[in-house]
């Protein structure tokens, strides 16, 4: 947090004594703000968290993952079974209608799956859909989804990003029409869209209500307010009832005022340092030496950074995935903070006086600078190269980055493949290029046998930790601030579920 922001927040906090928040319980409207201008409401054509929030309110997936128990339940499908490794048969819920009155049936599923699985249609997040080859109708309420290859986290995707569109409507209006007038089967229907700026949702009376609750609050009003301090001002003015992604220091101040509910929940996103073990950036660079990588791991006091900066419910992580993800082995090698050991390891590696290296980062600059301070103490001099995400990712893809602070949100998917699969299978973001790890992960991701997957991921994650290819840092957390009249229990996947809100 920059100093001016901090000052601004304090000034607002001090002055807020004069006003009390007035929630909009009277007109049954929950008001909140997006920081980012969302490109389109059509979930298949945006990659933003704001888009996920809206999608969960407007549309339904075939399945649903209970955010508390992690159990998969039927949603638009009531039963599902694997016919073989690449064929999933689903029985669909009867009597469901879309917001425009179109009845939901197998044609909608077949149309949606076939549309999004076709690369020509340019779905933005291919990972969410490219595992499906096509869908076939068995009868009006039975469909089969056919995969290219076995894909174990299929249920997770069907419960998350893959939502069902009305076939007739989408065929007529396409993505542009869906963006302006979205139609789904979800608990909220959209009453108005001002692209990127303003969205109004209204509870859908005809919602099927199982396993998700029907909406309790009548209307949701979302405005885009880019400056977070302005959001806080509007919160004090009673123009907003709910703030999310509140920076830790501001959440503490709001909590101290004693007039608002402040909740904190862990997120799937984790931070990590990736080191150029395979020597892509520099074939003889220090990071190719495992002793150096372990020295880095012992040099940084991650707990101190969590306590002082990251705060909330964040924890130090040791494994290269998020704890709540499936097959995320926790029993891996851990590197405690021990600068003397770090110095000894550096000396053993042939760097008794340390060395100098570029350190790339793209977010949370204070965290990066704190880590640089710790590294400096053991003799590793770092030059911070702070770039925009796209520029840094570009450089990483070209193998030009020897040492970098990264984070990964796994698109809120509770499966280790969402993070390990992307970073350790020889792709452009893979700095380790460990053939053994790649083989284990690939094998794990091509079998639906859950125990086998757990075993293979365990081997892969243990080796990643043993070799210190990454230094996993900490989990991220999200602060939510609500007026006293709002009731909502945040979940640990960074998804705000409007249908779970109610008035006290």
Return the bridge partners of 360, or none: 385, 404
Q: Which two tokens stand for residue 409?
A: 């949100």
Q: How many residues does the chain have?
A: 504
422 touching another protein, by CB under 8 A = yes
Alpha-carbon distance of 251 to 490, in angstroms, equals: 15
Burial of residue 440 (number of CB atoms within 10 Å: 0-12, 13-18, 19+):
buried
Given 125, 173, 248, 265, the residue binding another protein (CB under 8 A) = 125
Of 327-335, 340-348, 353-361, 381-389, the segment contacting another protein by CB under 8 A is: 381-389
385 touching another protein, by CB under 8 A = no
Q: Which two tokens stand for residue 307?
A: 């306590």
Alpha-carbon distance of 181 to 371, in angstroms, equals: 47
Q: Which two tokens stand for residue 343?
A: 């110095």
DSSP 309: I
Give, for 146, the enclosing helix (H) or strand (E): strand 142-147
Given 1, 7, 138, 171, the residue binding another protein (CB under 8 A) = 7
Cβ contacts of 343 within 8 Å, gap of 6 or more? 295, 378, 379
Q: Which C-beta is closer to another protein: that of 138 or that of 171?
A: 171
> What residues between 208 and 227 interact with another protein by CB under 8 A?
223-227
Given 100, 391, 446, 504, the residue binding another protein (CB under 8 A) = 391
Alpha-carbon distance of 424 to 91, in angstroms, equals: 36
Q: Which C-beta is closer to another protein: that of 409 or that of 455?
A: 409
> What residues between 56 and 75 interact with another protein by CB under 8 A?
none
Alpha-carbon distance of 344 to 346, in angstroms, equals: 5
| Interface characters, 13-32, with another protein (x: CB under 8 A) | --xx-xx-------------
* Contact indicator for 437, 458 with CB cutoff of 8 Å: no
Q: Which C-beta is closer to another protein: that of 391 or that of 489?
A: 391
* Minimum CB distance to another protein, residue 19 (Å): 6
* Minimum CB distance to another protein, residue 195 (Å): 6
Cβ contacts of 474 within 8 Å, gap of 6 or more? 270, 271, 302, 305, 306, 310, 314, 315, 316, 317
393 touching another protein, by CB under 8 A = yes
365 touching another protein, by CB under 8 A = no
Given 6, 173, 349, 387, the residue binding another protein (CB under 8 A) = 387
| Other Cβ atoms within 10 Å of 470 Cβ, number | 23
Given 388, 450, 452, 504, the residue binding another protein (CB under 8 A) = 388
Q: What count of Cα atoms within 13 Å lies in the side-chain half-sphere of residue 12?
A: 20
* Minimum CB distance to another protein, residue 362 (Å): 9
Q: Which two tokens stand for residue 120?
A: 């020509």
Closest CA to 414 of 56, 72, 29: 72
304 touching another protein, by CB under 8 A = no
Alpha-carbon distance of 363 to 10, in angstroms, equals: 23
| Other Cβ atoms within 10 Å of 312 Cβ, number | 21
* Contact indicator for 189, 196 with CB cutoff of 8 Å: no
Question: Distance from first CA to last CA of the chain, Å, rounded?
Answer: 33
Given 304, 397, 449, 450, the residue binding another protein (CB under 8 A) = 397
234 touching another protein, by CB under 8 A = yes
* Contact indicator for 204, 189 with CB cutoff of 8 Å: yes
* Contact indicator for 55, 246 with CB cutoff of 8 Å: no
Given 237, 330, 383, 446, the residue binding another protein (CB under 8 A) = 237
Given 124, 333, 344, 347, the residue binding another protein (CB under 8 A) = 124
Q: Which C-beta is closer to another protein: that of 338 or that of 438?
A: 438
* Minimum CB distance to another protein, residue 345 (Å): 33
Q: Which two tokens stand for residue 194?
A: 């001002």
Of 70-78, 234-242, 254-262, 309-317, the segment contacting another protein by CB under 8 A is: 234-242
Of 83-91, 195-203, 246-254, 434-442, the segment contacting another protein by CB under 8 A is: 195-203
Given 171, 176, 256, 304, the residue binding another protein (CB under 8 A) = 176
Burial string for 242-271 (b: 16+ CB within 10 Å, else e) reads bbbbbebbbbebbbeeeebbbbbbbbbbbb
Q: Which C-beta is closer to another protein: that of 83 or that of 389?
A: 389
409 touching another protein, by CB under 8 A = yes
Q: Which C-beta is closer to another protein: that of 224 or that of 447?
A: 224
439 touching another protein, by CB under 8 A = no
Q: Which C-beta is closer to another protein: that of 154 or that of 378?
A: 154
Alpha-carbon distance of 475 to 323, in angstroms, equals: 9
Q: Which C-beta is closer to another protein: that of 29 or that of 213?
A: 29
40 touching another protein, by CB under 8 A = yes
Q: Which C-beta is closer to another protein: that of 213 or that of 224?
A: 224
Q: Which C-beta is closer to another protein: that of 48 or that of 291?
A: 48
- Which residues contact another protein by CB under 8 A? 4, 7-8, 11-12, 15-16, 18-19, 37, 39-40, 45-48, 119, 122, 124-127, 130, 175-176, 179, 195-197, 223-227, 229-230, 233-234, 236-237, 239, 387-394, 397, 408-411, 422, 427-429
């Amino acid at each position: 947090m920059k100093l001016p922001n901090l000052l601004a927040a304090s000034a607002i906090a001090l002055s807020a004594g004069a006003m009390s928040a007035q929630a909009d319980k009277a007109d049954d409207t929950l008001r909140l703000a997006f920081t980012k201008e969302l490109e389109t409401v059509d979930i298949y054509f945006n990659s933003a968290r704001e888009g996920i929030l809206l999608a969960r309110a407007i549309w339904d997936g075939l399945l649903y993952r209970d955010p508390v128990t992690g159990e998969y339940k039927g949603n638009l499908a009531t039963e599902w079974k694997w016919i073989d490794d690449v064929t999933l048969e689903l029985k669909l819920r009867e009597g469901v209608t879309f917001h425009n009155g179109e009845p939901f049936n197998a044609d909608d599923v077949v149309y949606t799956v076939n549309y999004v699985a076709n690369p020509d249609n340019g779905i933005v997040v291919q990972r969410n859909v490219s595992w499906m080859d096509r869908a076939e109708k068995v009868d009006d309420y039975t469909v089969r989804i056919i995969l290219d290859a076995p894909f174990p986290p299929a249920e997770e995707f069907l419960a998350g990003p893959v939502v069902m569109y009305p076939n007739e409507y989408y065929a007529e209006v396409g993505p542009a029409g869906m963006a302006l007038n979205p139609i789904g089967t979800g608990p909220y229907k959209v009453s108005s869209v001002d692209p990127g700026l303003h969205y109004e949702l209204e509870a859908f009376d005809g919602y099927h209500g199982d396993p998700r609750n029907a909406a309790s609050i009548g209307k949701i009003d979302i405005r885009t307010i880019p400056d977070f301090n302005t959001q806080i001002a509007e919160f004090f003015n009673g123009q907003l009832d709910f703030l999310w992604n509140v920076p830790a220091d501001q959440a503490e101040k709001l909590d101290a005022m004693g007039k608002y509910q402040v909740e904190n929940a862990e997120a799937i996103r984790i931070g990590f340092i990736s080191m150029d073990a395979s020597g892509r950036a520099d074939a003889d660079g220090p990071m190719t030496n495992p002793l150096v990588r372990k020295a880095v791991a012992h040099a940084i006091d991650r707990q101190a950074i969590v306590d002082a900066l990251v705060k909330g419910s964040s924890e130090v992580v040791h494994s290269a995935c998020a704890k709540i993800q499936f097959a995320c082995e926790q029993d891996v090698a851990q590197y405690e903070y021990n600068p003397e050991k770090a110095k000894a390891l550096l000396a053993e590696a042939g760097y008794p006086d340390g060395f100098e290296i570029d350190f790339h980062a793209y977010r949370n600059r204070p965290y990066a600078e704190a880590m640089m301070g710790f590294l400096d103490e053991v003799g590793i001099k770092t030059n911070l190269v702070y770039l925009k995400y796209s520029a840094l990712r570009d450089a990483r893809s070209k193998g030009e980055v020897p040492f970098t602070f990264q984070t990964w949100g796994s698109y809120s998917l509770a499966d280790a493949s969402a993070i390990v699969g992307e970073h350790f299978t020889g792709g452009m973001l893979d700095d380790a290029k460990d053939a053994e790890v790649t083989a284990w992960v690939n094998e794990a991701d091509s079998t639906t046998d859950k125990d086998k997957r757990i075993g293979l991921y365990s081997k892969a994650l243990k080796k990643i930790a043993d070799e210190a290819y990454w230094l996993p840092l900490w989990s991220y957390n999200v602060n939510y601030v609500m007026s006293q009249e709002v009731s909502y229990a945040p979940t640990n996947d960074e998804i705000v579920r409007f249908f779970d809100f109610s008035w006290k």
